[in-house]
Structure 1
Amino acid sequence: MKDLSPRYLTLVTALIFTAISAVAIIGISFLPGVEIHAEQIFIGLIIIFLGAWFALYKILQAFIYDKIKLIFRNMHSLKIERDSLKPDMSKDVLGEVNEQVIDWAEDRMAEIKDLRQKENFRKEFVGNVAHELKTPIFSIQGYILTLLEGALEDPNFNRKFLKKAAKSAERMAMLVEDLDTITQFESGNLKLELERVDIVELSREIMDGREREAEQKEIVLGFSKSYDRPIYVQADGFRISQVLTNLITNSINYGKKGGKTTIHFYDLDEQILIEVEDDGPGITKPHQGRLFERFYRVDKSRARHQGGTGLGLAICKHIIEAHKQSISVRSEPGKGAVFSFTLAKA
């Protein structure tokens, strides 16, 4: 009984009305002086039934249409053509509308949730950018004011403060450049220049370029074994050098003094797996899932002291995903961290 169609309801209602009319007519026929033939009663009841059914059908159809029209106008905030909402009276119209309203409400709730997440992300992003820019700007401002107040004429301070101001300006430039890189990747405007790259040689060049930093922390950079033959991958050499530079630099910055950073290569048939492993303090599980987010830092004070922009791993993720590959991290507290990514074989 719960899925009665409007057509069925009008039919039942018309039959009931006809039955009541039949009882009334038969009752009248028994009154003195009233003579009604059976054929007349039969024809009259047919006319009453058809008239009642047609009138009820049209009234119910118009009522349902008006209600549906109001509902859909409120749902979609647009002008709806009459024919597009003309109800099919042979179906459970109200039940179908109810389902559509529920689906519409669920979609709107999902949209609202998504908009709130985007708004929170926007607020967090703007706050992070402002915070990252504030430190170098205030530093530059302080050094320049100190120089203007008299230190400019003192040879013991002027060059020192100018160097510090230049370093802060360089940090700002790095932040803006990294933001620009991420924006171009996300907008799809940054195209990769794929070529045949020897990933072993490229890794060796990056390690040679970071050797001085590693020596300052007594960290040894090297491969897990001797790689005498090249390993070729299909990649954008410049962008992959950015990935390796970020990962190796992080392993130096967060590795323990006297430790080591090791690069591994594994053959996965159609891909090469590259791993950058350190023996630092490691990363707890709650942090691992957010490491590749923009500006996310496990240890905020320590990270800023190291001079990073907080965008390095986010850029790595965008670069690797642009190659249609994946990057991940595995780590345990006290046992170091391993950052892994894949590249297609050349």
Structure 2
Amino acid sequence: MSLSPRFIAFILAFLISAITTAFLAFVDGANVSMLFVAAIAAFLSSFFLVLYAVDILVFREVNKMYRTIHKLKMRDFNMTPRKKLIQESNPMKTINDEIFVYVTKKQKEIDELKKLELFRREFLADVSHEFKTPIFAAQGFIHTLLDGAMEDDNVRERFLRKAANNLDSLDVLVKDLLVLSQMETGDIKMNMTRIDIRRMTINIFSRLENVASQRNVSLRVKPEDLDAVWVMADQDRMEQVMLNLIENAIKYGNENGKVIVHFSETKKHVEISVRDNGPGIPQEHLNRIFERFYRVDKSRSKERGGTGLGLAIVKHIINAHDTKIAVLSKPDKGTTFSFKLEKALIDQQPEKETPDPAKSAVNS
């Protein structure tokens, strides 16, 4: 039970008055009037003395705390006003609770800053490595030509093509970084239109037919009896999402496997899932696969191309559609990426388009 200073002073004053009166009652010549006056005097003096002592002991320290707190950024500290604090049943407990909340909040901010610092160092290391590889390769081919290999027509053409391929890879990387940066800062706006995402998926299957045939991967849409699946989305950006997810499923799934794009309609939304039957993604990697340049298996990822930014871009595009992307993976069972889009009504008209400064960016 919490006790206020006034209540404590009242109890102590009453006890002191009662004890004083009881002792005086045994004194010869003490009458009722004398006992009454002594009781009142003892009660009042004890009450104000105890109350003053408690206030001094409590609020002197409280004022010191306030002076310290005022040196901090007050907008970060939800401090109870002093007048209201005096009326609290237990002001020391109240201020202690507020300081505890403040310290906990600051500790969370410190932990978050440490995570961001670690992420920044990893990102700088990754982006430096990604830039270094194509630059050094192109530089090596060009310097070899300048050192005398240019006289050989076959060598010159082969080396120039290799240098050009590395510079093309560098260009793709820069464009992906630009798109990702613009999405994070909100510079890219989604042009929401009514699109048939099933037809889009079929078109992507046609574009990736050669890649799928090299690994003997079958591409399927379910349910097979659907004629069209209409959703509200940015057509170019959603094509970028589907292309990335389907291509990743082909590349990182099993050879002789299958990739299934499944559509599930509800009253207001359409859930799209891209599923493969590959080796799956280990649980410890699932929370990080949408980070920039993060690769579950760096050697395999390098062999099969990509900038390492594809899933990061996918996540930002999905978030810009006011939804989230989820991933479910089991070892040797496969991986499923899924997200929801708003279902387009038959009479729903597309919104007015706004210019997009990065429509020509190439997806990894």
Q: Same-fold call, TM > 0.5? A: yes
In the TM superposition, residue 75 of structure 1 has moved relative to its aligned partner by 4.2
Match of 1:111 in 2: 109
In the TM superposition, residue 302 of structure 1 has moved relative to its aligned partner by 1.0
Report the secondary structure of 1:157's partner residue: helix
CA distance in 2, matches of 1:192, 1:270: 20
Residues 76, 212 of structure 1: CA spacing in aligned structure 2 closer, same or farther, 3 A cutoff?
Answer: farther
In the TM superposition, residue 270 of structure 1 has moved relative to its aligned partner by 2.6
Match of 1:3 in 2: 2
Match of 1:92 among 90, 93, 100: 90
Match of 1:64 in 2: 58
Letter in 2 for 1:119: E
In the TM superposition, residue 24 of structure 1 has moved relative to its aligned partner by 9.2
CA distance in 2, matches of 1:61, 1:332: 64
Report the secondary structure of 1:274's partner residue: strand
Higher deviation after alignment, 127-136 or 221-230: 221-230
Higher deviation after alignment, 65-74 or 277-286: 277-286
Report the secondary structure of 1:280's partner residue: coil
Report the secondary structure of 1:156's partner residue: helix
User: Does the 8 Å CA contact 2:192/2:234 hold for their aligned counterparts?
Assistant: yes
Match of 1:170 in 2: 168
Match of 2:348 in 1: none
Root-mean-square deviation (CA), in Å?
3.4
User: Does the 8 Å CA contact 2:223/2:263 hold for their aligned counterparts?
Assistant: no
CA distance in 1, matches of 2:15, 2:244: 82
CA distance in 1, matches of 2:332, 2:70: 56
CA distance in 2, matches of 1:299, 1:94: 55
Report the secondary structure of 1:261's partner residue: strand
Residues 195, 48 of structure 1: CA spacing in aligned structure 2 closer, same or farther, 3 A cutoff?
Answer: same
CA distance in 1, matches of 2:43, 2:73: 37
Residues 36, 78 of structure 1: CA spacing in aligned structure 2 closer, same or farther, 3 A cutoff?
Answer: farther
In the TM superposition, residue 49 of structure 1 has moved relative to its aligned partner by 4.1
Report the secondary structure of 2:129's partner residue: helix
CA distance in 2, matches of 1:272, 1:22: 84
CA distance in 2, matches of 1:298, 1:13: 70
* Structure of greater relative contact order (alpha carbons < 8 Å, 6+ residues apart): 2
CA distance in 2, matches of 1:122, 1:84: 40
Match of 1:54 in 2: 48
In the TM superposition, residue 123 of structure 1 has moved relative to its aligned partner by 2.5
Letter in 2 for 1:303: S
User: Does the 8 Å CA contact 1:293/1:313 hold for their aligned counterparts?
Assistant: yes
In the TM superposition, residue 57 of structure 1 has moved relative to its aligned partner by 2.6
Bigger Rg, structure 1 or 2: 1
User: Does the 8 Å CA contact 1:325/1:343 hold for their aligned counterparts?
Assistant: yes
Alignment of 1:254-333 (within 5 A): 254-333=252-331
CA deviations on 1:275-320 (whole Å, 9 max, x unpaired) are 3333433333433343333322221111022221112122212222
CA deviations on 1:116-152 (whole Å, 9 max, x unpaired) are 2232223222332223222223223322332332233
CA distance in 1, matches of 2:104, 2:88: 27
Q: Normalized against structure 1, the TM-score is what? A: 0.81
CA distance in 2, matches of 1:344, 1:164: 45
CA deviations on 1:133-176 (whole Å, 9 max, x unpaired) are 22223223322332332233432322322222222222222222
CA deviations on 1:210-243 (whole Å, 9 max, x unpaired) are 2233344444444357567332211110011001
User: Does the 8 Å CA contact 2:191/2:234 hold for their aligned counterparts?
Assistant: yes
In the TM superposition, residue 18 of structure 1 has moved relative to its aligned partner by 5.3
Q: Normalized against structure 2, the TM-score is what? A: 0.78
Report the secondary structure of 1:277's partner residue: strand
Residues 57, 275 of structure 1: CA spacing in aligned structure 2 closer, same or farther, 3 A cutoff?
Answer: closer
Letter in 2 for 1:69: N
Letter in 2 for 1:6: P
Residues 16, 226 of structure 1: CA spacing in aligned structure 2 closer, same or farther, 3 A cutoff?
Answer: closer
Letter in 2 for 1:329: V
Residues 231, 18 of structure 1: CA spacing in aligned structure 2 closer, same or farther, 3 A cutoff?
Answer: closer
Percent of pairs with identical residues: 38
Residues 78, 102 of structure 1: CA spacing in aligned structure 2 closer, same or farther, 3 A cutoff?
Answer: closer
Instruction: Name stretches of at least 5 consecutive residues in structure 2 with no aligned partner.
Output: 75-79, 345-364
